[in-house]
Amino acid sequence: MTEVARMLGEPTGDSEFHGGVRILLEAGADAAPRMPGELRDLFEELRFAMRGVTAR
């Protein structure tokens, strides 16, 4: 997840990648509170990284 978050900061224009990340976040949203601490932290980091990423 850390690598995915890093890639979000790169100026790629890959709408398929961004769409996939959004699907991952939507699917994991309900499970996030029950994730082990480190995984939950990574999930939240990824969710935060998606803020400001516009749909292309």
Q: What is the DSSP letter of 44?
A: H
Kindly state the tokens that stand for 47. Answer: 């969710």
Q: pTM for the complete prediction?
A: 0.67
Please give the pLDDT value at position 56. 45
d(CA 38, CA 49): 16
pLDDT surpasses 80 at 7: no
Residue 53, CB-side half-sphere exposure with 13 Å CA sphere: 25
pLDDT at residue 13 in the model: 63
Mean pLDDT of 40-56: 76
Q: What is the pLDDT of residue 38?
A: 93
Q: Is 5 exposed, middle or buried (0-12, 13-18, 19+ CB in 10 A)?
A: middle
